[in-house]
Structure formats: structure tokens, C-alpha cells
Amino acid sequence: MKVIVLNNMAPFTWGGAEELAHHLVKKLRAIGVDAENLRIPFSWDPAELLIEQILMCQSFRIADTDRVISLKFPAYYAQHDNKVFWLLHQYRQAYDLWDAGQANIPNTPRGEEIRRLIHEADNQVFRTAKHIYTNSMTTAERLKRYNGFNSDVLMPPLNDPEIFTGGTDDGYLLAPGRINATKRQFMLIDAMQHLPLSARLVIAGPPDGPSDAEDLRRRVEEAGLEDRVTLDLRFLSREELADYVNKARAIAYLPFDEDSVGYVTMEAFQAGKPVLTTTDSGGLLQIVRDRETGAVVAPNSEALAEGMTRFLSSSNQAAALGQAGHRLWLSLGIDWSSTLTKLLA
């Protein structure tokens, strides 16, 4: 059986979707499937380019392939007669981020037209799907609300659970993952100003752009936090990331309305670490539960400082919440064997 995993690519960017596509191909090959990862270049700025990108992807017809597994806009427009969607997200700036005033599509008549064309193209391609899976209930609900399509939730498995072993506690709070404005690591730096001198924060991961790194460095410097906040702003190997996670007291992850539970959360719970997040973080809230598996607080510096204090002031409480998160994650029974069975059915 020949399978194409269809995804976008932005040069020099590697995040959760790229990790998922890479490991999906790896797991398919392990069971004897002839699988390839097809990455289509994607540029979204300025917004006018979006229409060109849609038309480009619609012009592709994938041949000599038994099954296509499509992950993201706009790559999922490529044509194939036996296409399954494992929808990570649509172009959210034409949907919920537009409603929230956070879109790069201008609020003009032309912007309205671009948004309408994206909705129409999505509705057309979703009608061709053999099956639509989504990576979380948040993504499923958004798809139903805006486009009217039903889907089945298929949460991604953790790619390498064996390296997230936990077991140690060096007392710091860790914020791992891609660095950008929607992941909101800057809010943790602001919150650190409300914490005692003993509090330590590590932010580790690759910035989406130079301005993202510079913003964090500026905030740390202006607040005088150089000796309490460590910025390791680069692409980390899986072993380096796991080492950070395994030695942390707790993990902080503050995305705005995240589509899924997120690898940061999955890795934290696999390692038995509690997670700090916010009430508007989206898909994480399926398993990050306040005072059960972590802390869920309002998205402001004072509330975040209170949540951070819960973990930093009590290693025993942090460990207990982390173990509860570990048990919850394992109870979900999310594994690659059952996932591949559904995607290939």
C-alpha cells in the first residue's frame, strides 16, 4: 500500500505538525506501508497570497498512491480520490481568529472576500473526504460551527514516550516549544515580577522569528530578571527537550485557543509533571484540570503568578498533580497501532 502524508512547510520552521507528519510516516513504514511525507511550501503574508496558495494546491493531482492523509490548510486541497483528513487546523485567521480580531486578513471588503473564498474552498474539499478525523474536540467543534461538517476526534499519540521519564525535580518552571506571540511565553516573564527571588523560569524552544526572541530578551532585561529567567531560544534535540522536561518542577503552556492538547502537555504528563495554563487555552483544557492535573488560571500576570506559586512553593503538591496527569494520559489509551488502523481503514 502506498500512502502520502500531505502537509505544508514554512522554511526553517519545525513544530508540532511537522513532528506529527514525520512520525506518522515513520510508523506507517514500520508496519510495511510505503509512505512518503509530501510538504508543500506555504506563505500567508500578505493575505492576498492565500488565494494563490489555494489555487496552487487545488491544481495538484496526486497519482500512483492508494491513500492520502491530509493534515493542514492549504496542502489539503491537493486532489486525490481516496483522501482521509486528519485535520490539525484550518486557516484559523479566516475563522475564530478573525472573530477574535487576531487575523492577518484585513477587515476590508477585499478581506471579507478572501475570507469567503477560503470558507467556500474548505467546504468544497471537505465534501470530497473519505473520512474526516480531527486532532481534538476543539478542532472538531470549530469545524462543525463554521463549516457544518461532523468529524471523529483522533488525538495524536506521543511520538517517543520512552524518553519522558520524569523522576527528578530541579525546582524550575519550564515553558518549552515554539516561541511566538500566540504561545504567549511573554506572560510568564511578566508574572515572574510578582514572585519571590527564589523562583526560576526556563523558556526553551525555537523562535518563529527574530522579533519573537528579541521581545523576550527585552522583557527579561527591562524587568531585571536575567539571573532568574533562562532563555534557551533555539531548536532543541528531542533528548535536550526531554532533559529539560524531566528535571522541571512543572510545565507552563499558555497558547491562545490551542487546537489540540498539544505535544507540550502530552510530554509533561508522560513525565509526570503538572501543567500551568490559562482559561482561554483551548484544547489543553480537555486534560489540564485546575487542582487535579495542574493549574488553570486567568490569562493575566497576577493570576499566572498565583498558579506558578502553587508549584514552586510545594514540590509535593506539584508531584501529586503531575502523577494525576500521568495516570489520566495513560488512561486515554492513545497509541499508534489503533491510530494507524483508523487512518488506513
Q: Which of 154, 186, 221 is the last residue of a domain?
A: 154
Q: Is the pLDDT of residue 257 over 90?
A: no
**CATH (domain of 150):** 3.40.50
User: Would the pTM count as exceeding 0.85?
Assistant: no
Q: Cα angle at 300 between 292 and 264, to 5 degrees?
A: 50
Q: Cα angle at 11 between 8 and 13, to 5 degrees?
A: 80
| Range of the structural domain that residue 31 is part of | 2-154
Number of helices and strands (H, E) in the chain?
12, 12
pLDDT (mean) for 195-214: 95
Q: Is residue 117 part of a domain?
A: yes
Instruction: For the sheet with 201-204, list strands across it.
Output: 229-232, 201-204, 173-176, 250-252, 275-278, 294-297
Total structural domains within the chain: 2
pLDDT (mean) for 300-328: 96
pLDDT tens-place string over residues 48-96: 899 999 999 999 999 999 999 999 999 999 999 999 999 998 999 999 9
- Give pLDDT, residue 27: 95
What angle in degrees, to the nearest 10, is found between the helix axes of 16-30 and 336-344? Answer: 80
Closest by CA position to 134, among listed 149, 155, 118: 155
pLDDT tens-place string over residues 89-145: 899 999 998 998 888 899 999 999 999 999 999 999 999 999 999 998 889 999 999
Q: Are residues 85 and 221 in the same domain?
A: no
- Give pLDDT, residue 243: 98
